[in-house]
Amino acid sequence: MTPNPGARALPGRVLLAGRHRRLARAIARYDECPDRAEIERRQVRRFNEIWAYCLAEVPFYRSWRREHRLPERIDRPAALWSFPPLTKEVLIARQDEVFQGGRIVDAYTTGGSTGQPTRYPRGAGEAGDRWVDAYLGRHWAGIRPTDPSLLLWGHAHLFGSGLRGRVAQTRRRAADAVMNITRLNAYDLSEPALWAHHAALLRHDPVSLQGYTSAVFRLARHIEGNRLDLPAPRRLRAVVLCAETASDADVALVERVFGASAVIEYGTAETGVLAMSRGGTRDISVFWDSFTALVDDAGELHVTTLNPRLFPLVHYAVGDRVVPRDVVDGNVLALQAVLGRRQDVVRVVSARGVLDLSAILPVHILKSYPGIVGVQFHQVRPDELRIHLEADHRLDLAAVTHHFTRELRRDHPDFVESSVSFTQTSEPARTTAGKHALFVG
């Protein structure tokens, strides 16, 4: 007897009826397609309400305003450029003030893959706004809340151990059941695990497949390399790529193998989902009703949260570089691409000296080589880059070197081949959050 997915989804629709109503209002608001002037008026109004709360209720921001002589109100989003960037370093250094001497206990925590983990106060009612933003973006891809979803994710280790860890895992399983989510382990991408993930995909026939870009890419390569079937008809409407930068090669492979549109979901642990692609992976719409996103000339992203939060983030330096698509005075409403962390630069040698390259370029080149499924960098010295490769077969590293040199010299003809070396690994390093680590060593 074929299971009825609607029966499993019913408890979620009943328990989350309030969130569904809020989501419907958000969908209607974005479907109205207001012009930029109306969007910015709304952003200003919402920011001034949030800032008034900050100055009345958040001791850190009262001090922040005095220290930097900040205004009580703004009249346009670009006025946020007069605010100093709120960085992770500031939040770490002033944790006692941010958490009000221990009176605030709950927190969002970053994994600390690029430095010391950072904690951000978390309020009891904030999950609802995050849920609405996430499903607003998925609505554009034809995914509804409680549609059957397969999730290639991790974070089990962050639950902790002992009774508290078991309670947290039980709560996660219950939440997954309510939302009709089947969770697969993205940490284990061994050959047996990939066969099991493919079997789960066939068994559950989900409406959406979501996960770390590297995990979804690896599963797609496994399916294609082993000529595995994904028999029709299938319910799959979209493959949502999260948490890691997706190259054009990643997107092309995913769409070819799964026969569904790839969707870019961009966000952070501390903000929730900030933006999602709409009508193409190079048109990533910012959730302008929940965030003001400013981009400077270097492509650095600064975000201000506009939903009610225990501790709003004001002109927060996310640490990511982006390519803006729809921007006026730095206020961006859509992105063309997310380039990743500002630290994600590799250095190679050319005849003219050391070249600083966005890490995305060598990743894109190498993932176009047959069999390569993972790329990690070890910057030994400014003039020496070691690249660790994960592949589904034994690589001819001389052939890889030739391919890499030929493709990189299309953009950088003076590239010196000897400044880069390759090794093959079967155990790629991961961050504490379970993501594929881009830099090692």
Q: For the segment 242-278, what is each residue's pLDDT rounded down to a tens digit?
A: 877 787 888 999 999 999 999 999 999 899 999 999 9
Question: Which one is predicted more confidently, 231 or 102?
Answer: 102
Q: Does residue 3 register a pLDDT over 60?
A: no
Average pLDDT over residues 89-105: 95
- E-strand ranges in 306-402 read 316-328, 331-341, 345-350, 353-358, 372-381, 384-391
| 403 close to 413: Cβ distance less than 8 angstroms | no
Question: 353-407 pLDDT, tens per residue?
Answer: 888 776 767 887 888 788 888 899 999 999 999 999 998 889 999 999 999 999 8
Provide the pLDDT confidence category of residue 303 given band limits of 50, 70 and 90: very high
Average pLDDT, rounded, for the chain:
87
pLDDT at 179: 79
Question: 64-85 pLDDT, tens per residue?
Answer: 999 999 999 999 999 999 999 9
pLDDT at 15: 64
DSSP 392: S
149-153 and 181-185 strand pairing? parallel
Its pTM stands at: 0.78
pLDDT at 155: 52
According to CATH, where is 3.40.50.12780 located in the chain?
Answer: 1-342
Q: Does residue 112 register a pLDDT over 60?
A: no
Query: What percent of the chain clears pLDDT 90, i.e. is strictly above it?
Result: 60
pLDDT at 116: 60
Provide the pLDDT confidence category of residue 114 given band limits of 50, 70 and 90: very low
- Concatenating the DSSP letter of every residue in 117-186 gives --EEE--TTHHHHHHHHHHHHHHHTT--TTS-EEEEE--GGGG-SHHHHHHHHHHHHHHHHHHTEEEEES
- Of the candidate ranges 89-103, 104-118, 354-368, 377-391, the one whose mean pLDDT is the lowest: 104-118
- Of the candidate ranges 144-153, 223-232, 258-267, the one whose mean pLDDT is the lowest: 223-232
Q: How many CA atoms lie within 13 A of 134 on its CB side?
A: 19
Provide the pLDDT confidence category of residue 224 given band limits of 50, 70 and 90: very high
- Of the candidate ranges 160-174, 180-194, 265-279, the one whose mean pLDDT is the lowest: 160-174
According to CATH, where is 3.30.300 located in the chain?
Answer: 345-424
CA distances (Å), 202 to each of 56, 186, 257, 262, in order? Answer: 54, 17, 14, 19
- Of the candidate ranges 86-100, 220-234, 313-327, the one whose mean pLDDT is the lowest: 220-234
Q: Does residue 162 register a pLDDT over 90?
A: no
CA neighbor of 322 nearest in space, from 266, 263, 261, 254: 266
CATH number of 345-424: 3.30.300
* Domain 1-342 class in CATH: alpha beta
pLDDT at 381: 92
- Of the candidate ranges 201-210, 222-231, 240-249, 374-383, the one whose mean pLDDT is the lowest: 240-249
pLDDT at 174: 76
